[in-house]
Amino acid sequence: MSVLDEIDRGFLRALAEDATLSASALGRRFGLSQPAAWRRIRRLERTGAIRGHRVDLDLERLGFGVIVFLGVKLAAKGRTGLEEFERAVAAIPEVQTVQHVLGLYDFRLRVVARDLSDFERVLRRRIMALPGIGDVEANVVLSEERRPGPLN
């Protein structure tokens, strides 16, 4: 990706806060015409700075009041074992994020559940039943503040 200028960074900050902003609204905010703003957004998408537009769901209002980060260490490592685990765990609907990480654990999972007993069911019946599972550490999220990230 080419170097981002201040307007690019401003667009990215604004879209990270509200992905529904139109090219017209962004243009007005940054002193550009609607076509110029639209071209800039398309360029940011083409170069990969913008990878998509997502909806931020309120999980609690949808009945998922528990978020747990799981550290998972596989019993046997190897390319096949890692890929097999990754495919299997990604198929579990409650697992929102699968991250292959370096450190004490091999994977970090973000799991949502209706409540703690629902999480226990997902853990016992779905996650612990996966091939190659070794150690698992659960961290229940007490509160979460989400920010768009650094764009300086």
Q: Looking at residue 3, what is its pLDDT?
A: 82
Contact 111, 95 (CB under 8 A): yes
Query: Confidence class of residue 151 from pLDDT cuts 50, 70 and 90?
Result: low
Cα–Cα dist 69/101, whole Å:
13
User: Is this structure's pTM higher than 0.85?
Assistant: no
Contact 111, 119 (CB under 8 A): yes
- Name the token pair of 85: 């685990």
| % of the chain beyond a pLDDT of 70 | 92
Residue 40 has φ and ψ, to the nearest 5°, of: -65, -45
Q: Which long-range contacts (CB under 8 A, 24 or more apart) does 61-65 make?
A: 63/114, 64/112, 64/113, 64/114, 65/113, 65/114, 65/115
The CATH number, out of the four listed (3.10.310.30, 3.30.70.920, 3.40.640.10, 3.20.20.70), of the domain defined by the range 66-140: 3.30.70.920
Query: Could you tell me the CA-to-CA distances from 116 to 52, 130, 152 in Å, in that order?
Result: 32, 20, 39
What are the sequence ranges of the domains in the chain? Answer: 6-46, 66-140
Parallel, antiparallel or unpaired: strands 95-100 and 107-113: antiparallel
Q: Domain 6-46, what fold?
A: Arc Repressor Mutant, subunit A (1.10.10)
- Name the token pair of 8: 């690019």
| pLDDT tens figures, 4-38 | 999 999 999 999 888 899 999 999 999 999 999 99
Mean pLDDT of the chain: 90
pLDDT at 152 over 60: no
